[in-house]
Amino acid sequence: MADPMRIRAVLNGDNVEVKILIRHDMETGLRKDPAGQLVPPHFIKTLTAKYEDRLVLDAVMGISVSKDPFLSFKFKGGAKGGKLTVTWIDNLGDTRTDTAIIS
């Protein structure tokens, strides 16, 4: 159900520079809809990024990460053409995995 992520992974010198954009509402559970009803919480709890089989980032998130989350980081040891795979899971059990090829 979830929309695909936008993942960029670019080799720059020794570093692979990674930028991830995720389409997710990140509902806090504190917001009221126009009818005045509380909108239930719906947010990503965990995210992992793997280069091939190696874990390169591992995040846990709360309700105060912004809507449509953005993450940017760097790691060493990646090669052009290698695969970077990102997976997130939210509090309702929705999950999404996308892969980018390092350029």
Partner 1 sequence: MNQSRRDVLRITSILGLGLAGGLFSSLNVFGAEWMPKSFEAKNLADALKELGVDKYTMSSDVSVVSAEIAENGAVVPISIASAIPHTEYMAILVEKNPSPLSVAFNIPEGTDAAITTRVKMGGTSNVYAVVKADGKWFAASKEIKVTLGGCGG
Partner 2 sequence: MKPFVVFIFTIFLINIAPYAIAGNSSTDEIAKYRELLEDGNPAELWEMRGEELWKKKIAPKNVSLEQCDLGKGPGVVKGAYVELPRYFKDVNKVMDLEQRLVYCRTTIQGLSHEQAVSTPFGSAGHPSDIEPLVAYITSESKGMKMAVSIKQPLEKDAYEIGKKFFFYRAGSHDFSCATCHSSDKKRIRLQELPNLLNKVDAQKAYSTWPAYRVSQGEVRSMQNRLSDCLRQQRFPEPIYTSDAITALIMFLAKNAEGGVYDAPAIKR
* Contacting residue, 14, 52, 58, 68, with partner 2 by CB under 8 A: 68
Q: Does 25 bind partner 2 (CB under 8 A)?
A: yes
66 interacts with partner 2 by CB under 8 A: yes
Reduce the DSSP state of residue 9 to 3 states and report it: strand
Residue 47 to residue 85: CA distance in whole angstroms: 11
Q: Of partner 2, partner 1, none, which one does residue 95 interact with (CB within 5 to 8 Å by kind)?
A: partner 1
In the complex, the residues that contact partner 1 under the rule CB under 8 A are 15, 28, 30, 45-46, 48, 54-67, 69-77, 87, 89, 93, 95
Query: Identity (one letter) of the amino acid at 7?
Result: I
Q: Is the dihedral of CA 28, 34, 36, 37 positive or negative?
A: negative
Residue 2 interacts, among partner 1, partner 2, none and using kind-specific CB cut-offs from 5 to 8 Å, with none
